[in-house]
């Protein structure tokens, strides 16, 4: 059972944090699941929703990486995970290798601190002036993920908007005075193809790269999933908040059918976005081959990284990398297919002791 609780809790605080996160994740399921099924899932390291979202009534359990293994064991793969955890460190390490939106200012405790000389954002008025000049700015909390706390400050039709709602001076004052560890960054403008599908969120991809320990640590893409926002998730595209996710064909960059979190206890698949009616299945990510090659090169750039989940916004004229993740969430990835069914991925996780090596049959 979970490797005898990680050999009697060799790292007790790590285990406690993991179980707290698993419990919080497990509570997310809003549909009823029999107690017997829930217990079976927990014993294997899965949260209870996985029985439904992974289709364990017809898919082999051994093809799927459990949430416990992701939280505890996969988090140890990279030798310097702080480079991915820390958004400013990430920008410093990768800005010469990848196009990354620039961090412009830091807001906390009512104080705005500029981080670049142009635009020099040192006050609420300077923040508005920068927004007027650039059109949009991203406002996001340091250290958060999954779209939590993400907001958009925009200048449109002669007025300022915060998450598409009018922003007056009092609202701006509240935003600044109540901010705690908030980053102001350049806005990641997306491609026309993605904006057509859903225009009220920045629609990004999660591209999971690994370095093959048996092939001179050459990087490869394990899976890529494109997300699209919804009225539930906007201005973010978060799957957990109601966004949609579809797999990207790794050879062609073509999108498959999309799905969303099954809040009503039923997994549904969509060829078109249910709210806008725009086609998703069959769309091709522009510049896919170049995007992949750049991400693989960046994965190989530092010897302390073997496992990176990149968040990428594709455009017709290039792409932007929003961040890198140390141990990506798995549910919205593996809803499309179990990662451990791929022998190369399984071997990677076995090598890094995330999963137990399978017993080989004697000839």
All structural domains of the chain with their residue ranges: 2-77, 82-99+192-350, 103-186
* pLDDT value of position 24: 66
* pLDDT value of position 7: 47
Give the separation between CA 21 and CA 18, rounded to whole angstroms.
5
Q: Which stretches of the chain drop beneath a pLDDT of 70?
A: 1-27, 29-30, 144-147, 359-363
Within 8 A by CB and 6+ apart from 182, the residues are: 106, 107, 108, 139, 140, 141, 142
Tell me which fold the domain 82-99+192-350 belongs to: D-amino Acid Aminotransferase; Chain A, domain 1 (3.30.470)
* pLDDT value of position 8: 43
The 10s digit of each residue's pLDDT in 219-237 is: 999 999 999 999 999 888 9
* pLDDT value of position 282: 98
Within 8 A by CB and 6+ apart from 282, the residues are: 254, 255, 271
Q: What is the dihedral of CA 189, 126, 165, 111, to 10 degrees?
A: 110
The 10s digit of each residue's pLDDT in 253-288 is: 999 999 998 888 889 999 999 999 999 999 999 999
Give the separation between CA 227 and CA 247, rounded to whole angstroms.
9
Locus of tokens 């073509």: 254
The candidate with the shortest Cα–Cα distance to 154, out of 182, 121, 181, 189, is 189
CA 61 to chain centre: 24
- Mark out the alpha helices in the chain (DSSP H runs): 2-9, 12-26, 35-44, 50-53, 67-68, 82-85, 87-94, 124-134, 169-178, 192-197, 288-299, 331-334, 343-351
* pLDDT value of position 35: 79
């Amino acid at each position: 059972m979970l490797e005898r609780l990680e050999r009697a809790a060799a790292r007790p605080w790590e285990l406690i944090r993991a179980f707290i996160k698993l419990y919080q994740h497990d509570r997310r399921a809003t549909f009823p699941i029999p107690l017997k099924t829930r217990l079976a899932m927990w014993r294997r390291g899965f949260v209870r929703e996985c029985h439904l979202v992974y289709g364990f009534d017809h898919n082999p359990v051994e093809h799927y990486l459990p949430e416990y293994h992701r939280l505890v064991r996969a988090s140890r793969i990279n030798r310097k995970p702080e480079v991915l955890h820390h958004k400013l460190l990430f920008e410093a390490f990768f800005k010469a290798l990848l196009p990354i939106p620039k961090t412009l200012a830091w807001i906390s405790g009512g104080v705005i601190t500029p981080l670049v000389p142009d635009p020099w954002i040192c006050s609420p008025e300077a923040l508005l002036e920068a927004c007027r000049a650039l059109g949009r700015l991203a406002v996001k909390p340091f250290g958060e993920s999954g779209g939590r706390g993400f907001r958009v400050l925009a200048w449109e039709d002669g007025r300022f908007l915060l998450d598409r709602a009018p922003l007056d001076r009092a609202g701006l004052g509240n935003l600044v005075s109540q901010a705690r560890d908030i980053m102001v960054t350049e806005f990641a403008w997306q491609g026309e193809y993605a904006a057509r599908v859903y225009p009220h969120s920045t629609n990004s991809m999660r591209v999971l790269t690994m370095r093959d320990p048996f092939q001179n640590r050459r990087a490869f893409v394990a899976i890529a999933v494109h997300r699209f926002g919804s009225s539930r998730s906007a201005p973010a595209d978060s799957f957990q908040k109601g966004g949609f996710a579809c797999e990207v064909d790794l050879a062609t960059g073509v999108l498959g059918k999309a799905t969303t979190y099954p809040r009503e206890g039923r997994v549904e698949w969509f060829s078109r976005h249910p709210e806008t009616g725009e086609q998703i299945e069959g769309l091709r990510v522009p510049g896919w081959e170049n995007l992949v090659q750049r991400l693989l090169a960046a994965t190989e750039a530092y010897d302390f990284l073997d496992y990176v989940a990149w968040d990428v916004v594709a455009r017709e004229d290039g792409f932007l990398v929003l961040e890198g993740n140390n141990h990506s969430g798995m549910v919205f990835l593996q809803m499309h297919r179990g990662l451990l069914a791929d022998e190369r991925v399984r071997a990677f996780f076995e090598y890094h002791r995330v999963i137990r090596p399978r017993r080989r049959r004697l000839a």
